[in-house]
Amino acid sequence: MFNNKSILITGGTGSFGKRFVRKILKDYKPNKVIIFSRDELKQYEMAKVFSQDKYSCMRYFIGDVRDHSRLSRALVGVDYVIHAAALKHVPAAEYNPFEYIKTNVIGAQNIIEACIDQKVKKVVALSTDKAANPINLYGATKLCSDKLFVAGNSYSGHSGTQFSVVRYGNVIGSRGSVIPFFLNIKSDGIIPITDERMTRFWISLDQGIDLVLKAFSVDYGGGIFVPKIPSMKVIDVAKVLAPECEIKIIGIRPGEKLHECMIGEDDSPYTFEYDDHFIIQPAIHNWYLEPTRFGNGKKVQDGFSYSSDKNTQLLNSKELLSILQKYTLNNSELVFLDEVQERSTVPLNMTSILKNEIPLQMK
């Protein structure tokens, strides 16, 4: 799919971008892989791992999705785009709403228009469970972004750029994830939990990448891809990571939900189920009625919803610990063991970290 093609990743220095680049360089022979982001330090750090000397296809472009002209220039000759750039911090969005709209909404519009103008073949935008039935500004901006990307297929026409969306929950090990946060504060003896009832969806970076690749593989645009992934109470995650610590209930933060939802009841008429994922088809133009779109998918029942508290697939402590064995902790970030050597990181045994056998300063 990506052999001899040019791929651009917005926000490409983040956890997803770095893991996706590793996957692409391993499995394909792309013409170019362009990292488009606004943080020169993160690009410098990433370029030390994926250097142009070692990978001649790599390119690093400084730019912001708010800047349409820069985007348009960067997209010249690009075949595929993964849109991962976003402002994501829920409480910060409540206090800085204009900035989130500029990046998450106007930025999405800029991506869509620039990709159509530059005749990009396909775009997959990363979304979040917070975009379904949003109660916070971050979720509202991502819902708006999702709607823009779905509608982008109307602007591009049948032979133009195809736009799809991938929506998933909390990524284990990503920057800002609660798991490295818990691991780094467990030495204090107290783990803060906003509400003991709170549940979340959990997905690994590799699962997220597989879903993005699946979205690229279909021959139409407009679908919102939702993975079937497990849920777990946040308090249970804390007990697995720091069983010796006291749990302190601190109250829900501004804009925070008790439970997350990835498919709301109102989307059920347009949702089709597959073995390991769902696809919410576009309601516009009655596209969801076209048999070529849903293939062997089975339409869900009216009133169906997919939420973290009613999810029948639960992540237990043994499974979480098994997943964590693939990581080590480095500077407050979970790092895959297969990345340790490239980062010049001293590997730390996750079992020892969980047992407090390694002091915090070594982490």
CATH code for the domain of 277: 3.40.50.720
| Identity at 87, one-letter amino acid code | L
pTM: 0.91
Residue 212 domain-assigned (yes or no): yes
Residue 349 domain-assigned (yes or no): no
Residue 234 domain-assigned (yes or no): no
Residue 157: CB atoms within 10 A of its CB come to 9
Q: From CA 207, how far away is CA 247, in angstroms rounded?
A: 30
Residue 266 domain-assigned (yes or no): yes
CA–CA–CA angle 5, 142, 97 (5° rounding): 125
Low-confidence ranges of the chain (pLDDT < 70): 331-332, 341-363
Give φ, ψ of 264 to 5 degrees. Answer: -85, 165
Q: From CA 94, how far away is CA 335, in angstroms rounded?
A: 30
Length of the chain: 363
Residue 55 domain-assigned (yes or no): yes
Count the domains in the chain.
Answer: 1
Residue 138 is predicted with a pLDDT of 97
Residue 358 domain-assigned (yes or no): no
Structure tokens at 212: 């993005």
| Identity at 264, one-letter amino acid code | G
Alpha helices in the chain (DSSP H): 15-27, 40-49, 68-74, 90-95, 97-100, 107-117, 137-156, 178-185, 205-217, 234-241, 291-294, 317-324, 340-343, 350-354
Q: Is 32 a catalytic residue?
A: no
Structure tokens at 59: 């390119």
Predicted confidence (pLDDT) per residue in 170-205, tens digit: 998 777 788 888 988 888 999 999 999 999 999 999
Helix (H, G, I), strand (E, B) or coil at 155: helix
> Hey, which residues does 175 pair with through a beta bridge?
none
Helix (H, G, I), strand (E, B) or coil at 122: strand
Q: From CA 114, how far away is CA 109, in angstroms rounded?
A: 8
Give φ, ψ of 125 to 5 degrees. Answer: -100, 135
Residue 324 domain-assigned (yes or no): no
Which range marks the domain in which residue 298 is found? 6-168+203-227+261-307
Helix (H, G, I), strand (E, B) or coil at 259: coil
Residue 331 is predicted with a pLDDT of 66
Q: From CA 358, how far away is CA 168, in angstroms rounded?
A: 33
Residue 353 is predicted with a pLDDT of 61
Residue 287 is predicted with a pLDDT of 83
Residue 222 is predicted with a pLDDT of 94
Residue 327 is predicted with a pLDDT of 85
Annotated catalytic residue, options 130, 142, 214, 228: 130
Residue 47 domain-assigned (yes or no): yes
Distances from the Cα of 39 to the Cαs of 26, 65, 66, 151, in angstroms? 25, 12, 14, 30
